[in-house]
Amino acid sequence: DTPPAPIPEACPSCGQKLVHLDDEVALRCINPMCPAQVQEQLTHFASRNAMNIDGLGPKIVAQLQAKHLVKDVADLYHLTAADLAKLDKFKEKSINNLLSAINNSRQNSVERLIFGLGIRHVGGKAARILAEHFGDLDHLMTASQEAIADVPNIGPTIAEAIVTYFKAA
């Protein structure tokens, strides 16, 4: 019989103490600058169901992070051809394709943007409801927790998560 694996106390990526949130069983790293957290956020943002940035998967995101070219989703929209030329095996065609995909994502719906931000508890359905109710990201960002919670099918848990997300951003 092998003994059970010890429960980790620190995030393997950034070393931050792991915590239990909302009486969950899972331990979580809550460091917003944790490289693993940032990589997952960027990969989710670029995913097909979110902003659909073709060619921006986990390996490219990892390279962008390693070269200190991105630290959050906003940085994606400031990337240049010169930045992308620093990536392994990135030549003119790859550079142009990725820049084009990033630029095309600017035309996506508010619903996709809200979902892509990866706000805790905000899935596709909640993103759609919020987009329909608030119309744009600015109105959602400036809404009070009470105003968000009053939106049908949203409630206090999602409202709190949204307000917390934008305060930390």
Check whether residue 45 and residue 90 sit in a common domain.
yes
**pTM confidence score:** 0.89
Write the single-letter amino acid at 136: D
Q: Report how far residue 160's alpha carbon sits from residue 43's, in angstroms, rounded to the nearest whole number.
A: 24
Check whether residue 27 and residue 44 sit in a common domain.
no
What CATH number corresponds to the domain at position 91? 1.10.150.20
Ranges of H-type helices in the chain: 35-46, 58-66, 73-76, 81-84, 92-105, 110-116, 124-134, 137-142, 145-149, 155-168
**Which structural domain range is residue 57 located in?**
35-105
What is the number of structural domains in the chain? 3
Check whether residue 47 and residue 66 sit in a common domain.
yes
Check whether residue 52 and residue 95 sit in a common domain.
yes
Q: How confident is the model at residue 68 (pLDDT cuts 50, 70, 90)?
A: very high
Q: Report how far residue 46's alpha carbon sits from residue 77's, in angstroms, rounded to the nearest whole number.
A: 12
Check whether residue 120 and residue 158 sit in a common domain.
yes
Check whether residue 51 and residue 92 sit in a common domain.
yes
Check whether residue 15 and residue 59 sit in a common domain.
no
Check whether residue 46 and residue 90 sit in a common domain.
yes
**Residue 10, SS3?**
strand
Check whether residue 6 and residue 47 sit in a common domain.
no
Instruction: Tell me which of 55, 73, 105 is where a domain ends.
Output: 105
Q: How confident is the model at residue 1 (pLDDT cuts 50, 70, 90)?
A: confident
**DSSP letter string, 31-75:** -TT-HHHHHHHHHHHHSTTTT--TT--HHHHHHHHHTT--SSHHH
Check whether residue 57 and residue 6 sit in a common domain.
no
Instruction: Tell me which of 56, 80, 105 is where a domain ends.
Output: 105
Question: Could you give phi then psi for residue 17, rounded to 5 degrees?
Answer: -60, 135
pLDDT digits (tens, 9 = 90+) for 73-126: 999 999 999 999 999 999 999 999 999 999 999 999 999 999 999 999 999 999
Judged against a pLDDT cut of 90, whether residue 162 lies above it is answered with yes
Instruction: Tell me which of 90, 105, 120 is where a domain ends.
Output: 105
Check whether residue 1 and residue 47 sit in a common domain.
no
Check whether residue 46 and residue 96 sit in a common domain.
yes
